[in-house]
Amino acid sequence: MPTIALYLKTHQPFRIKHYRAFDVGHDHEYFNDKGEGKTNNVKILKKICEKSYKPTNKVLLELLKKHPEFTFSISLSGVLLEQLEEHAPATLETFKKLVATGRVEVLGETYYHSLAFYYSISEFEAQVKMQNKTLKRIFGITPKVFSNTELAYRNDLALWAENNGYKGIIAEGWDPILGWRTSNFVYEPTGTKKIKLLLKNYRLSDDIAFRFSNKSWSEWPLTADKFASWVHDVNGNGETVNLFMDYETFGEHQWEDTGIFDFLRHMPKEILKNKDNGFKTLSETCKAYDAKDVVDMPHIVTWADSERDLSAWTGNSMQQSSLSELYRIESKVIATKDAKLIDDWRKLQTSDHVYYMCTKWFSDGDVHKYFSPYESPYDAFIAFTNALSDIKHRAKID
Amino acid sequence: MPAKKVLMFGWEYPPHHSGGLGVACKGLAHALIDNEVHVCFVLPKTVSLTDEKRVNIKFADAYSKLPIENISVHLEELSRELQNPYITSVEYERKLATFIKYGGKIIPRTLFEQVDHYGTMTKEMFANGMEDFDVIHAHDWLCYSAGIAAKEISGKPLIVHVHATEFDRCGGNSVNQQVYDRERRGMHVADHVIAVSELTRKIIIDKYGVDPTKVTVVHNGNSDADKNPKSRFKDLYKLREAGKKVVLFAGRITIQKGVDYFVQAAKKVLEYEKNVQFIVAGSGDMEEQVKGLASHLGIRDNFLFTGYYKLDEQSDLFAAADVVVMPSVSEPFGIIPLESMSNGTPVIMSKQSGVSEVVTHALKIDFWDTDEMANKILAIIHHPVLKQTLSQEGLRQVKDITWDKAAKKTSSIYTNFYSKTK
């Protein structure tokens, strides 16, 4: 009798505008593109609110009212919450309404959606603290389960989470790590005592997140009752089905005309048709089931690409150099005590900036995989590096 | 299926060539042979091509009652310039006058007469007996009259290959009507048209009124250039050793190539970074104008003008540069970026170019956006890691941009006609 742990993760970065060498030392606003281009953050935010957040939250709220058994988890990066508060307060209200039902759990993460854990623990902790403060202020909650940026997980992150009071942590349910084991049980991370590890069932998650509208997929069209039958098949070989995906799956990655909202609307009902099935938040899942085994991840595993590694963020030398330069100046930036400067520097830590510099899909024929507001990874690097030069200029760093 | 045979008309052939056209013809001819196509390559004028062992070359003037006369050695350079496929008709008249003044004799006087004469010589060549072939393939308008003549006599299908149009050459100025008319006639008489890029295909359809269904894009490939150990530029890399940043333009100095935009961008770069050497390699009718512009902007000392250079000197130029800029106003294809990438030198290229359709690992700009050109030059000279990534990825990518791909696509176009005529 598996329960479903549905987790919707969302984040929007502060994209850097077309910031040029000549702007260094003069213009300290990197994120304020007001034009028609793809780095106008306000414009993008408003579009995503209309296409995804608002219609998704409407359906989710209806489902919570209709099915007392329905419950799920979400997370919103601090930089997204900041943008929602300023430019889309009405949409933020819809998130608040969800959380106010008491049946929607909010997870912890870094405020800036950064990879700081792997570069600077002090910086990482500062960002987690900021996020917790923001969640308390907006939603009145304190997170119990930790979700790192891009699910970038390693044993020592689990130990950190345990030492900092988290009951659970999540990661990718990646076959080379699991071997014969399945993601449909709760596990214990190597080197920890109490914290539980929840692993994404990437097959069933990706059926919705990636394959839903793919007409060449043999299972297309995916209906709610078909999906419920697949979940039911887990019976006997698992206790939880962890469906982790981007919030934007609904309405942005899968457009409304694919029928994705109808699918969401009917999915809980179909799952609950079988009395053995149910829904749990991630905390409830951690509490309900014992860890079946110890899972060891000494190297970073993410939920990205076929490699499930950080290569999309750190694969080439532009990315590596950007990250090392960014964290090299940490102490000097912090020492300025200039709140605006520190905030701008932290906004550059958002993982999207280095992701836009990824060159591995940028050859012939593969360019469609390059999701970026920039024309090329090189343009992304130039805008970032110029902005970082200006940060150094402001902090008087050579 | 029996092997395909193509009768190909060109205007120039390496090493006797002035630009990309000859290089492209040779690259394609060799790759077609590798793909089991028989190539008979015709040139208008007899030249020594002893190094060319693979392609069967015919010289049309060898069959003519009115061959282009032999000329003395010191006039050879001028003669070659007169045959330059990129020459403007005004420049042609000026050079021809000098040529005749120094005793050069040439039977057809104007470029148009020469082009027409190529058609006449083709007819004479056929009268002497011609080996069997399946299709005719003529490169650029200079060879259309020859191609049309061959089609009229043999009844075989004609494919014209557009490497450039008059709209590219004039760089936004008024087009030469005589050239346009000849281009248009060739494209319309042809059974099929090959364009070197989507950009060129669009011009062919929009400006020459050609039926879109008979125009196919075949992108050029990259050719491995020879290296001359005695190149004038073999020590140029020492500029970088001396701490200079080196920014290179290589190509003809004409309105089409946008060199004036390069100079404007240099001005902007120098406001932020003093220690930069700009090199303009090549010659052309705008050379004095470009030098004048650099002087006017007060940056003449930061510029080095090399004058005309030979293809085998090019790799030393690239090796000396931190970045190569191709600011073309309109570039049907543009092989400079590929040659630069093969040398591991990053490229900033105009988006108004065919090559930008196949290259992703380069920086791209609108030719008129000199601020952005300067921004990108500064980025490369300030951030070695950007240069390094572009260099590595560029080398990897250029290996995939081959004449073999171009030949396979061309060969499949032949096949369409081959099956129809057999």
CA A288 vs CA A37, A141, A283, A294: distances in Å: 48, 21, 9, 17
Shared-domain flag, residues A148 and A81: yes
Nearest to A382 among B360, B379, B396 (CB): B379
Q: What is the DSSP letter of B354?
A: S
Chosen domain end from A295, A330, A361:
A295
Domain check: are B81 and B137 in the same one?
Answer: yes
> Of B268, B379, B393, which is closest to A359 when you measure between CB atoms?
B393
Whether A180 and A253 share a structural domain: yes
| Contact of A187 with A226, CB cutoff 8 Å | no
**Min distance B408 CA to chain A CA atoms (Å):** 18
Co-location of B243 and B298 in the same domain: yes
Is B71 found in the same domain as B43?
Answer: yes
**CA pair distance B333, B358, nearest whole angstrom:** 10
Count CB atoms within 10 A of the CB of residue B326: 27
Judged by a CB distance cut-off of 8 A, whether residue A185 touches chain B is no
Model confidence pLDDT, tens digit, residues B104-159:
555 555 788 888 889 989 999 999 888 899 999 999 999 999 999 999 999 999 99
pLDDT band at B72 (very low <50, low <70, confident <90, very high): very low
- Model pLDDT, residue B182: 95
Task: Clarify whether residues A273 and A124 are in a common domain.
Answer: yes
The answer to whether A319 contacts chain B (CB < 8 Å) is: no
Min distance B11 CA to chain A CA atoms (Å): 32
Residue B202: CB atoms within 10 Å: 14
Question: Would you state the pLDDT for residue A205?
Answer: 97
Instruction: Please count the CA atoms within 13 angstroms of the CA of B119 that sit on its side-chain side.
Output: 17
Cβ of A363 and B371 within 8 Å? no
Checking if the pLDDT of A365 tops 60, the result is no
Of B325, B356, B330, B327, which is closest to residue B340 (Cα–Cα)? B325
Residues B317 and B180 grouped into a single domain: no
Distance from CA of B301 to the nearest CA of A (A): 23
| B379 within domain boundaries | yes
Whole-angstrom CA distances from A142 to A76, A108, A221, A248, B358 are 13, 8, 39, 24, 52
Q: What is the pLDDT of residue B81?
A: 67
Query: In the prediction, which pLDDT does B237 show?
Result: 87
**Interface check A366 vs B, CB under 8 A:** no
Which of A367, A378, A386 comes nearest B390 by C-beta?
A378
Task: Give backbone dihedrals phi and psi of B211, rounded to 5 degrees, phi first.
Answer: -55, 120
As a whole number of angstroms, the longest Cα–Cα distance in chain B is 66
**Could you tell me if residue B232 is inside a domain?**
no
Helix axes B111-127, B177-189, angle to 10 degrees: 30
Angstroms from A373 CA to nearest CA on chain B? 15
Claim to verify: residue B158 and residue B20 sit in the same structural domain = yes
Tell me the pLDDT band of B76, cut-offs 50, 70 and 90: low
Which of A21, A364, A376 faces B378 most closely, judged by CB atoms?
Answer: A21
DSSP symbol at B132: -
Same domain, A344 and A285: no
What's the pLDDT at B68? 53
Tens-place pLDDT, residues B174-230: 889 999 999 999 999 999 999 999 999 999 999 999 999 999 999 999 987 777 778
CB of A16 within 8 Å of a chain B CB? The answer is no
Task: Record the tokens describing residue B292, joined without a space.
Answer: 């004048």
Asked whether residue A234 falls in the same domain as residue A328, the answer is no
Q: Which residues, 6+ apart, have CB-to-CB distance to B173 below 8 Å?
A: B255
Question: Are the Cβ atoms of A363 and B363 closer than 8 angstroms?
Answer: no
Compute and round to an integer the Cα radius of gyration of chain B: 22
Whether the Cβ atoms of residue B388 and residue B401 lie closer than 8 Å to each other: no
B170 and B77 within one domain: yes
Say how many domains are in chain A: 2
Q: Does A217 touch chain B (CB under 8 A)?
A: no
With H, G, I as helix, E, B as strand and everything else as coil, classify residue A14.
Answer: coil
H/E element holding A185? none
Find chain B residues with C-beta within 8 A of A20's C-beta.
371-372, 375
Residue B135 is assigned to a structural domain of this protein: yes
Q: Is residue A307 part of a domain?
A: no
Same-domain status, B258 and B378: yes
Q: How far is B125 from chain A (nearest CA, A)?
A: 44
For A318, the closest of B362, B372, B389 (CB atoms) is B389
Any domain includes A106: yes
Interface test with A, best of B389, B391, B405 (most A CBs within 10 A): B389
- Residues of the domain holding A187: 3-295
3-state secondary structure of B294: helix
Contact between B82 and B92 (Cβ < 8 Å): yes
| Any domain includes A306 | no
- Within 8 A of B379 by CB-CB distance, chain A residues are 21, 381-382, 385-386
| Interchain proximity A20–B375, CB inside 8 Å | yes
Verify whether the Cβ–Cβ distance B371 to A20 is below 8 Å: yes
Give the sheet arrangement for strand B192-195, strand by strand: B56-59, B37-43, B4-9, B135-139, B158-162, B192-195, B215-217
Min distance A363 CA to chain B CA atoms (Å): 6
Q: Is the pLDDT of residue B2 over 80?
A: no
* CA–CA dist A83, A80 (Å, integer): 5
User: Which chain A residues are Cβ-neighbours of B375 within 8 angstroms?
Assistant: 20-22, 382
**A365: contact with B, CB 8 A cutoff:** no
Residue pairs spanning A and B at CB distance below 8 A: 64
A192 pLDDT band, cuts 50/70/90, is very high
| Each residue's pLDDT tens digit, A203-219 | 999 999 999 999 999 99
Buried b (16+ CB within 10 A) or exposed e, A212-230: bbeeeeeeeebebeebbee
Residue A355 lies in a domain: yes
Question: Taking CB atoms and an 8 Å limit, are A378 and B386 in contact across chains?
Answer: yes
Q: Scanning the structure block, which residue is given the tokens 């008709």?
A: B89
A302 located within any domain:
no
The per-residue pLDDT for B225 is 73
From B404's Cα to the closest Cα of chain A, the distance in A is 16
Q: Shortest Cα distance from B375 to chain A (angstroms)?
A: 6
Does B289 fall in a domain? yes
- Do A86 and A174 lie in one domain? The reply is yes
Q: By mean pLDDT, which of A270-279, A295-304, A357-366, B357-366 is the weakest?
A: A357-366
- CA–CA gap between residue A179 and residue A173 (Å, rounded): 10
CATH of the domain at B58: 3.40.50.2000
- Residues A86, A39, single domain; the answer is yes
Does residue A219 share a domain with residue A126?
yes
Looking at the fold, whether A323 and A381 belong to one and the same domain comes out as: yes
Does residue A301 sit within a domain? no
For the ranges A101-110, A191-200, A306-315, A343-352, the lowest mean pLDDT is seen at: A306-315
Please name the residue that has the structure tokens 């109490």: A194
Specify the higher pLDDT residue, B153 or B70: B153
Q: Phi and psi (nearest 5°) for B271? A: -70, -25
The residue with greater pLDDT, B196 or A398, is: B196
Please report residues of B whose CB lies closer than 8 A to that of A376. Answer: 360, 363-364
B217 and B87 in one domain? yes
What confidence score (pLDDT) does residue B74 get?
45
A12 CB near a chain B CB, below 8 Å?
A: no
Q: Please tell me which residue in A105, A150, A162, A284 is annotated as part of the active site.
A: A150
Q: What is the pTM of this model?
A: 0.90
Binary contact (A367, B379; C-beta < 8 A): no
Residue length of chain A? 398
For A375, the closest of B272, B364, B383 (CB atoms) is B364
Question: Which residues in chain A are closer than 8 Å to B382, comparing Cβ atoms?
Answer: 21
Q: Which of A22, A317, A375 sits opposite B389 (nearest CB)?
A: A317
Does pLDDT of B73 surpass 50? no
Residue B18: Cβ within 10 Å count: 19
Residue B172 CB neighbour total at 10 angstroms: 11
Start-end of H helices in B255-402:
259-272, 287-296, 314-320, 336-342, 370-382, 384-398
Contact B376 A317 (CB under 8 A): no
Is B288 a member of any domain? yes
Domain span at B357: 238-398
Q: Are residues B184 and B315 in the same domain?
A: no
What local confidence, expressed as pLDDT, does residue B71 receive? Answer: 39
Give residue B70's pLDDT band: very low, low, confident or very high (50, 70, 90).
very low
Q: How far apart are CA B299 and CA B290, in angstroms?
A: 11
When divided into structural domains, chain B yields a total of 2
Does A390 map to a domain?
A: yes
| Torsion angles phi and psi, residue A294, rounded to 5 | -95, 130
Exposure letters B351-383 (e unless 16+ CB within 10 A, then b): ebbbbbbbbbbbbbbebebbebbbbbbbbbbbb
Q: B364 and A321 in contact by Cβ < 8 A?
A: no
Integer CA distances (angstroms), A74 to A14, A57, A157, A284, B411, in order = 20, 11, 20, 14, 57
Gap between the Cα atoms of A250 and A58, Å rounded: 12
CATH number of A40's domain? 3.20.110.20
Question: Within a domain: residue B281?
Answer: yes
**Same domain assignment for residues A224 and A320:** no
For B65, counting Cβ atoms within 10 Å of its Cβ (0-12 exposed, 13-18 middle, 19+ buried), the class is exposed
In chain B, pLDDT over 70 holds for what percent of residues? Answer: 89
Long-range CB pairs of A328-331 (<8 Å, 24+ gap) are A329/A391, A329/A392, A329/A395, A329/A397, A330/A120, A330/A122, A330/A123
**Based on the domain organization, do B282 and B348 belong to the same domain?**
yes
Same domain, B359 and B415: no
Residues A59 and A124 in one domain: yes
Same-domain check for residues A32 and A148? yes
| In B212-369, alpha helices (H) | 238-241, 259-272, 287-296, 314-320, 336-342
Per-residue pLDDT band for B99 (boundaries 50, 70, 90) equals low
Q: Is B230 inside any structural domain?
A: no
Q: Is A150 a known active-site residue?
A: yes
End position of a domain, from candidates A295, A324, A356: A295
- Give the separation between CA A292 and CA B18, rounded to whole angstroms: 74
User: Is the CB of A385 less than 8 angstroms away from the CB of B383?
Assistant: yes
Q: B289: exposed, middle or buried (C-beta count within 10 Å: 0-12, 13-18, 19+)?
A: middle
Pick from B375, B399, B402 the residue to mutate for testing the A interface (most A CBs within 10 Å).
B375
Answer yes or no: is A303 within a domain: no
B204 and B136 in a single domain? The answer is: yes
- For residue B227, being part of any structural domain is answered with no
Q: State the DSSP H helix or E strand holding residue A306, giving kind and residue range, or none if neither.
A: none
Nearest CA among A49, A36, A30 for reference residue A89: A49
pLDDT > 90: percent of chain A = 93
The per-residue pLDDT for range B250-280, each reduced to its tens digit, is 999 999 999 999 999 999 999 999 999 999 9
Radius of gyration of chain A (CA): 21
**Euclidean distance between CA atoms B125 and A26, whole angstroms:** 70
Q: Enumerate the β-bridge partners of residue B6.
A: B39, B135
